[in-house]
A and B are shown apart, each in its own frame.
Chain A
Amino acid sequence: MLLELKSVQKRFGGVTALRDGSLSVRAGEVHLLMGENGAGKSTLMKIVAGMQGLDSGEMLLRGQPVRFANPKEAAAAGIAMVHQESLLAPHLTVGENIFLGREDLAPFGVIRRSAIMERAARLIESHGFPLRADWRVEKLSPAGRQLVEICRAIASNASLLIFDEPTSSLSESETREVFQIVRTLKQQGAGVIYITHRLEELRTVGDHVTILRDGATVHSCPLADLSRSQLIQHMVGRDLGALYQREPIPPGKPLLELRHLQRAKILHDLSLTIRAGEIVGLAGLMGAGRTELCRAIFGIDPLDSGLILVDNQPLPLHSPRDAVSAGIALIPEDRQRTGLATQLPVGWNLTLSSLSAHSRFGILNSSLLAATESRFIDRLRIKTAGPTQKSVRLSGGNQQKIVIAKWVAQGARVFLFDEPTRGIDVGAKTEVFEVMDSLARDGAAILMVSSELPELIQIADRILVMRQGRIAGELPRHTTQEEIMALAAFEQEELSL
């Protein structure tokens, strides 16, 4: 056995993150770690990577009991981790981040920068990632940062690699490359622990699976022995039934209209209309301009020309404030940076955008606030110790639910969901879809950006495909992934010929 964890316990104050975490990983095996949001997956892996200590239980590495006081000791023992929430140094370049802490040193501790950049460039190129070694990390999208984390982990030549939701913001082609990386690592005899909520991607990489529920290991077996529904049942502890199916409703009047939006190099003559009650999917490759479109609609990035109308009223969009007062909401793809004030209590984040509705003459109505907070914690089943808990303490998926709840509480009518299910477990996904559906039924217009094509097909009334700042085409409900990919990738292949 490469790694063995036995009955690991971990408490944070009054919260028990792990009650009985057990896991055995062999060298040359890809071990999936599954479980709902807040099940304790990341916590267990942080213990392995030396970022957190354990309260009780045993950890054996190659049969020897070990405890790591810090990530450095874990790294020295050959353990590398790709983190769920980016832990990169934002002001450094991609290359510097990949080799941070492992720089080639010339005498007197001088860093050989050019050597590092060259090695990083070669590494990036060999995997065909859309990155450059001299880009600054703060400018990268979450997907870009995730790729940097992955490069960083493979550059360490570790013998045990932990991937905590490495593909949550990646699109198809990068995801395929990540699988290739995992397979290569496996062939080289490394052990890989892989956490994901994307049930579709399991079979392509995994050998063995361990399932955590409420901080305890409930099942562990070869992946082949488990059907999809059995897997889900172990994870959520109940039968979720069939895949969520949405019944579209007849759309009402146009609520959001974009006319000839133009922004140099990013958006080109982009027009679309979304009616009340509609959920419109927006697909496209990384860099197609989907996030940029959302940002422009929300008033963050200025447009060169074009018109945005809500309810037939042209908007003066200069800042998110204008967008919010017109009833537009953005659930950003990057929750830690722009979605949440992570140091503030859960309840405060939930009501941050709706304080005006909860106050008179600027004075907050605390009983009204408390009611709203607990209502949304219940409605979205946010797993938290209570509204006063710091948001940063919640698991990734539960943080995402706070961001969504914030805008539902605000009462917006036009919702821009940018990768809304990123890092959310199966059960919670259904809950998010149900929220989207009920918003649509209440007459909201919804634009849903997602790289998870099966999901778009499942939820959207129709799917727009974006390519290089343009709408490349529109597909009806129940289209196929192949059709979407064909539209999304068409021109790029043409260019590369």
Chain B
Amino acid sequence: MIQRLLPFATLIILFAALCFVPNFLSETNLSSVIRQTAVINTMALGMTMVIITSGIDLSVGAILAMGGLLGAMAMEKGLPIPAGIATGIATGAFCGFLNGFLTTRLKINSFIVTLGTLGIIRGLTLVISNGLPVHQIPPGFSYLGEGTLIGVPFVLWLLLACGLLVHFLLEHTKLGRYGFAIGSNPDAAFYAGIPVAFHVTSIYAICGALTGLAGMIEASRLMTGQPTAGQGYELQAIAAVVIGGGSLRGGEGSVIGTLVGAFIMGLLANGSDLLGISPYWQQAIIGAIIILAVSVDELRKRSAV
């Protein structure tokens, strides 16, 4: 139990330590940390569900770009802002559905399928946009990523809502329970009469939808639909899940863990920025943290009841 709280403790210690760094506690800095991590956080929530089924989605970075681009294009064409956001989410959901459909129907490992769709989706995004960003976006759209509600960045409320939703799905619905069972032992799930393909596909679609939303947040923060957005984000999302106690073997993972994992990475990046540590070093540090977190977690599992 004590070790279970380790990611939590790490986060708190990290936060406490950073309090001594000048400017860290300023309102602008804190809200910028929240805004920066919101995109990865939202993606990581979906990734948590996928990883619990012992799958993986390498295409989320590309889905983020595709969702952001199509959403921005919809608004450029004159659609109202909510409709634009919905377009982004729907695009993501469709791409996720495709991932799930291909993994379950072709019975190919999700690593391979999403490695393929990563290329396909990224390529199509560049084809559609001709490689050029979309700029003609209504100014009100910036509220999504940069706005404030009751003194707190709007994205934090959004993240909270998404977190609650995914937590509810995982812990209190059939879908979530089946997800854990499929990830833990797919044969036993199949023998138990669970419609495995349907539930796996649904989970990939949900992951896609959350990624589409993350794409809209990113687009709103940059106020452009960037066809090259989100490169390498998939690895950060996976890292957040894993640092938070998710297992790539499936059957394990939680919303709280993932959020903590993403904030640990966010704080590390922010702290290094404030301390003037070069981004080159930051990459190395985060890599080391991932290995450290996972080995501690393995130790815990081996010794636990």
Contact of B305 among A14, A325, A364 (CB under 8 A): A14
Chain A residues whose C-beta falls within 8 Å of the C-beta of B283 in the assembled complex:
none
Chain A residues whose C-beta falls within 8 Å of the C-beta of B184 in the assembled complex:
341-344
Given contact pairs A321-B195, A363-B172, A337 touches B178 in the complex (Cβ within 8 A): no
Whether A321 contacts B193 by the Cβ 8 Å rule is yes
The answer to whether B180 has its CB under 8 Å from any CB of chain A is: yes
B interface residues, how many (CB within 8 angstroms): 23
Chain A residues whose C-beta falls within 8 Å of the C-beta of B190 in the assembled complex:
319-320, 338
Whether A341 contacts B174 by the Cβ 8 Å rule is no
Chain A residues whose C-beta falls within 8 Å of the C-beta of B32 in the assembled complex:
none
A296 to B124, CA, bound (A): 44
Whether A338 contacts B191 by the Cβ 8 Å rule is yes
Given contact pairs A343-B251, A344-B181, A364-B172, A13 touches B188 in the complex (Cβ within 8 A): no
A14 to B304, CA, bound (A): 10
Whether B172 contacts A320 by the Cβ 8 Å rule is no
Interface size of A as a range: 35 or more
The answer to whether B187 has its CB under 8 Å from any CB of chain A is: yes
Whether B192 contacts A352 by the Cβ 8 Å rule is yes
Whether B193 contacts A13 by the Cβ 8 Å rule is no
The answer to whether A472 has its CB under 8 Å from any CB of chain B is: no
CB B194 to nearest CB in A, in angstroms, measures: 7
Chain A residues whose C-beta falls within 8 Å of the C-beta of B181 in the assembled complex:
341, 344, 348, 352
CB B123 to nearest CB in A, in angstroms, measures: 35
Contact of A320 among B185, B192, B305 (CB under 8 A): B192
Whether B251 contacts A338 by the Cβ 8 Å rule is no
Whether A353 contacts B193 by the Cβ 8 Å rule is yes
The answer to whether A362 has its CB under 8 Å from any CB of chain B is: yes
Given contact pairs A12-B305, A15-B305, A355-B177, A342 touches B185 in the complex (Cβ within 8 A): yes
A348 to B188, CA, bound (A): 12
By beta carbon, the residue of chain B nearest A324 is B193
Whether B174 contacts A344 by the Cβ 8 Å rule is no
Whether B305 contacts A359 by the Cβ 8 Å rule is no
Whether A330 contacts B191 by the Cβ 8 Å rule is yes
Chain A residues whose C-beta falls within 8 Å of the C-beta of B188 in the assembled complex:
337-341, 352
Whether B174 contacts A359 by the Cβ 8 Å rule is yes
Chain A residues whose C-beta falls within 8 Å of the C-beta of B305 in the assembled complex:
12-15, 385, 389-390, 393
The answer to whether B295 has its CB under 8 Å from any CB of chain A is: no
The answer to whether A480 has its CB under 8 Å from any CB of chain B is: no
Whether B174 contacts A362 by the Cβ 8 Å rule is yes
A338 to B184, CA, bound (A): 11
Chain A residues whose C-beta falls within 8 Å of the C-beta of B175 in the assembled complex:
362
Whether B191 contacts A332 by the Cβ 8 Å rule is yes
Whether B187 contacts A338 by the Cβ 8 Å rule is yes
The answer to whether B189 has its CB under 8 Å from any CB of chain A is: yes
Chain A residues whose C-beta falls within 8 Å of the C-beta of B10 in the assembled complex:
none
A359 to B140, CA, bound (A): 42
Contact of A364 among B174, B191, B195, B251 (CB under 8 A): B174
Given contact pairs A13-B304, A364-B173, A366-B172, A323 touches B178 in the complex (Cβ within 8 A): no
The answer to whether A208 has its CB under 8 Å from any CB of chain B is: no
CB A134 to nearest CB in B, in angstroms, measures: 24
Chain B residues whose C-beta falls within 8 Å of the C-beta of A366 in the assembled complex:
172
The answer to whether A290 has its CB under 8 Å from any CB of chain B is: no
Chain B residues whose C-beta falls within 8 Å of the C-beta of A12 in the assembled complex:
305
Interface mask (A309-342 → B, CB under 8 Å = 1, otherwise 0)? 0000000000111011100001010000111111
The answer to whether A356 has its CB under 8 Å from any CB of chain B is: yes
Whether A355 contacts B178 by the Cβ 8 Å rule is yes
A491 to B178, CA, bound (A): 46
Whether A339 contacts B191 by the Cβ 8 Å rule is yes
Chain B residues whose C-beta falls within 8 Å of the C-beta of A338 in the assembled complex:
187-188, 190-191
Whether A356 contacts B304 by the Cβ 8 Å rule is no
CB A308 to nearest CB in B, in angstroms, measures: 16
CB B105 to nearest CB in A, in angstroms, measures: 14
CB B252 to nearest CB in A, in angstroms, measures: 8
By beta carbon, the residue of chain A nearest B305 is A13
A338 to B192, CA, bound (A): 9
Chain B residues whose C-beta falls within 8 Å of the C-beta of A197 in the assembled complex:
none
Chain B residues whose C-beta falls within 8 Å of the C-beta of A332 in the assembled complex:
191
Contact residues, B163-203 vs A (CB, 8 A): 172-175, 177-178, 180-181, 184-185, 187-195
A12 to B175, CA, bound (A): 32
Chain B residues whose C-beta falls within 8 Å of the C-beta of A10 in the assembled complex:
none
Contact residues, B210-258 vs A (CB, 8 A): 251-252
By beta carbon, the residue of chain B nearest A342 is B185
Contact of A406 among B180, B185, B192, B251 (CB under 8 A): B192
A319 to B193, CA, bound (A): 8
By beta carbon, the residue of chain A nearest B175 is A362
Given contact pairs A13-B305, A355-B177, A362-B175, A337 touches B187 in the complex (Cβ within 8 A): yes
Whether B177 contacts A348 by the Cβ 8 Å rule is yes
Contact residues, A120-141 vs B (CB, 8 A): none
Chain B residues whose C-beta falls within 8 Å of the C-beta of A325 in the assembled complex:
193
Contact of A363 among B173, B251, B304 (CB under 8 A): B173
Interface mask (A1-41 → B, CB under 8 Å = 1, otherwise 0)? 00000000000111100000000000000000000000000
Chain B residues whose C-beta falls within 8 Å of the C-beta of A340 in the assembled complex:
185, 188
Contact sample, A vs B, 19 pairs, CB 8 Å cutoff: A13-B305, A15-B305, A320-B193, A324-B192, A332-B191, A337-B187, A339-B188, A340-B185, A342-B184, A344-B180, A344-B181, A344-B184, A352-B177, A352-B188, A353-B192, A355-B174, A356-B174, A362-B175, A364-B173
Starting from the known contacts A348-B177, A362-B173, A363-B173, 18 additional A-B residue pairs (CB-CB under 8 Å) come to A298-B191, A338-B187, A338-B190, A339-B188, A342-B184, A343-B184, A348-B181, A352-B177, A352-B192, A352-B194, A353-B193, A353-B194, A355-B174, A363-B174, A364-B173, A366-B172, A390-B305, A406-B192
- Show the binding face of B for A, using Cβ within 8 Å: 172-175, 177-178, 180-181, 184-185, 187-195, 251-252, 304-305
5 nearest interchain CB pairs?
Answer: A13-B305, A324-B193, A341-B184, A341-B185, A343-B184
